[in-house]
């Protein structure tokens, strides 16, 4: 199918041609030539018309028998157009002449332009008198209407046909361009709809991934927060993520580390690093930062993930305290701390871990320190 082909179910002549402008054109044509003109779609609906002859309006199309002849003539005209002719000139059974010119948009036949009714020579009065007699027309009124029908020479008709065919060609090309514009707009609208759906899906996916993240996520532009997830709001003690927008990123860094972090932001640093963050209430927490520059909504932004290291640091501190070589007395088993003081084992461990002690006595110490009680209970020395 060529690019000029369109589907007849997609468009009507009304959609592709400005009917009000078309009405003005055919009215001007009728005023200049005295010829009646009409534009009909393929269903026979009149879209524009001017100067139809009284003999047709008030006689031929009023009487059921002559109206049937009119419909037969219309069918013959349309049929010959379907054969591919550029126009068709036809004398109807009621004695008048019509011309039909097909209206194409691209390769599609959407309607017809009719010129008529007229005569190519002076009318045969006897033929029309007999017709008036046959169908019961008022003879005087009928002949008076006949006398108003223009008699046109073949050259005038040739010029009229040339004008109409040229007009339909221009209108067809204009309508074709309009059709292409419609299709382009439709394609663009579909692309926008598809892209919007794609972005909606992506945004929803990102939102879900962001909200289920255990890390705080911040998007910033020129160092100013433009987006944040709920985890970030929770981490920094905000009621919701929207309250964080518009705030400088460095405001969430402990003062003594701001210069260092600002430098990393300015240079686009993209490796993980640790620093101290400050919450809304002023408390500080150790955090790990991962950041990356990327394009978001056609804007160059910095995405930053923040992981709270509080629990990790606490655990590391406990492990560090009880790790390594501990100086312990060979006799009393006291442990020397970092300041040089000697403490009971249980006291030292309680200070440097979450362990608690409860005291008892093992069987060997029980026998050594309480031999009599041991013998009473166990009935033997060993």
pLDDT tier for residue 299 given thresholds of 50, 70 and 90 = confident
Specify the CATH number for the domain of residue 82. 3.30.450.20
The answer to whether residue 207 is domain-embedded is no
Cα(118)–Cα(34) distance, integer angstroms: 9
The answer to whether residue 226 is domain-embedded is yes
pLDDT tier for residue 382 given thresholds of 50, 70 and 90 = low
Is residue 257 domain-shared with residue 286, that is, in the same domain? yes
Is residue 45 domain-shared with residue 74, that is, in the same domain? yes
Is residue 140 domain-shared with residue 66, that is, in the same domain? yes
Count of domains forming the chain: 3
Residues 228 and 217 sit within 8 Å (Cβ to Cβ): yes
Is residue 308 domain-shared with residue 330, that is, in the same domain? no
More confident residue, 236 or 4: 236
The answer to whether residue 45 is domain-embedded is yes
Residues 245 and 225 sit within 8 Å (Cβ to Cβ): yes
The answer to whether residue 194 is domain-embedded is no
The answer to whether residue 225 is domain-embedded is yes
State how far the alpha carbon of 280 is from the alpha carbons of 249, 268, 305, 309, in Å: 13, 25, 18, 17
The answer to whether residue 198 is domain-embedded is no
Q: Do you know the residue count of the chain? A: 382
Is residue 71 domain-shared with residue 163, that is, in the same domain? yes
| Three-state DSSP class for residue 122 | coil
Give pLDDT tens digits for 229-240: 888 999 999 999
Out of 286, 314, 342, a domain closes at 314
Is residue 31 domain-shared with residue 108, that is, in the same domain? yes
Give pLDDT tens digits for 31-84: 888 899 988 887 778 888 898 899 999 999 999 999 998 888 777 766 666 556
Residue linked to tokens 């899906």: 201
Share of residues in the chain with pLDDT > 90 (%): 32
Check whether 222 has a pLDDT greater than 60.
yes
pLDDT tier for residue 224 given thresholds of 50, 70 and 90 = very high
pLDDT tier for residue 330 given thresholds of 50, 70 and 90 = confident
Is residue 55 domain-shared with residue 172, that is, in the same domain? yes
- Residue 2 is predicted with a pLDDT of 43
Cα(114)–Cα(52) distance, integer angstroms: 10
Is residue 30 domain-shared with residue 115, that is, in the same domain? yes
Check whether 210 has a pLDDT greater than 80.
no
Q: Which helix (H) or strand (E) holds 273?
A: strand 273-278
Non-local (6+) Cβ contacts of 15 within 8 A are 182
- Residue 193 is predicted with a pLDDT of 85
Out of 142, 164, 185, a domain closes at 185
Segments forming the whole domain that contains residue 155: 13-185
- Residue 280 is predicted with a pLDDT of 94
Cα(80)–Cα(66) distance, integer angstroms: 21
- Residue 374 is predicted with a pLDDT of 78
Is residue 330 domain-shared with residue 277, that is, in the same domain? no
Check whether 243 has a pLDDT greater than 70.
yes
- Residue 213 is predicted with a pLDDT of 62
Cα(254)–Cα(278) distance, integer angstroms: 5
Cα dihedral across residues 43, 48, 51, 54: positive or negative: positive
| DSSP conformation class of 248 | B
- Average confidence (pLDDT) over 152-164: 88
Is residue 134 domain-shared with residue 27, that is, in the same domain? yes
* Most confident residue range from 30-39, 193-202, 242-251: 242-251
The dihedral formed by the CA atoms of 198, 203, 204 and 206, expressed in degrees to the nearest 10: 120
- Average confidence (pLDDT) over 108-112: 81
The answer to whether residue 2 is domain-embedded is no
Is residue 281 domain-shared with residue 363, that is, in the same domain? no
Task: Of 69, 165, 155, 156, give the one whose Cα is nearest residue 112.
Answer: 165
Out of 169, 185, 201, a domain closes at 185
The answer to whether residue 201 is domain-embedded is no
- Residue 381 is predicted with a pLDDT of 55
Is residue 86 domain-shared with residue 143, that is, in the same domain? yes
Mean confidence (pLDDT) of the chain? 83
């Amino acid at each position: 199918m060529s690019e000029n082909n369109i589907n007849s179910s997609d468009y009507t002549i009304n959609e592709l041609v400005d009917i009000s402008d078309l009405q003005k054109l055919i009215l001007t044509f009728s005023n200049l030539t005295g010829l009646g003109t009409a534009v009909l779609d393929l269903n026979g609906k009149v879209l524009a018309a001017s100067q139809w002859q009284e003999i047709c309006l008030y006689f031929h199309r009023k009487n059921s028998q002559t109206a049937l002849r009119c419909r037969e003539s219309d069918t013959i005209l349309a049929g010959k157009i379907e054969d591919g002719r550029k126009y068709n000139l036809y004398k109807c059974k009621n004695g008048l002449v019509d011309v039909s010119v097909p209206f194409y948009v691209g390769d599609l036949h959407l309607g017809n332009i009719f010129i008529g009714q007229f005569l190519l020579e002076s009318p045969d009065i006897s033929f029309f008198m007999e017709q008036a007699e046959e169908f019961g027309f008022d003879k005087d009124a009928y002949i008076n209407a006949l006398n108003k029908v223009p008699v046109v020479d073949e050259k005038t008709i040739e010029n009229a046909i040339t004008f109409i065919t040229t007009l339909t060609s221009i209108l067809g090309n204009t309508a074709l361009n309009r059709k292409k514009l419609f299709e382009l707009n439709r394609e663009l609208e579909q692309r926008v709809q598809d892209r919007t759906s794609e972005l909606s899906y992506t945004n929803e996916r990102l939102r879900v991934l962001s909200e289920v993240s255990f890390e705080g996520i911040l998007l910033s532009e020129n160092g100013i927060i433009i987006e944040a997830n709920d985890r970030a709001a929770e981490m920094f003690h905000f009621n919701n993520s929207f309250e964080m927008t518009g705030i400088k990123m460095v405001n969430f860094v402990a003062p003594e580390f701001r210069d260092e972090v600002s430098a990393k932001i300015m240079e686009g640093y993209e490796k993980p690093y640790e620093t101290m963050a400050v919450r809304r209430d002023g408390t500080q927490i150790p955090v790990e930062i991962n950041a990356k520059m990327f394009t978001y909504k056609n804007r160059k932004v910095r995405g930053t993930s923040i992981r709270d290291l509080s629990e990790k640091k606490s655990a590391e501190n406990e492990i560090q305290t009880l790790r390594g070589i501990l100086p312990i007395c060979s006799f009393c088993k006291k442990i020397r701390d970092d300041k040089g003081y000697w403490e009971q084992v249980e006291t030292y461990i309680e200070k440097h871990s979450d362990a608690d002690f409860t005291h008892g006595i093992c069987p060997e110490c029980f026998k050594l320190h309480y031999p009599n009680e041991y013998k009473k209970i166990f009935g033997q020395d060993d």
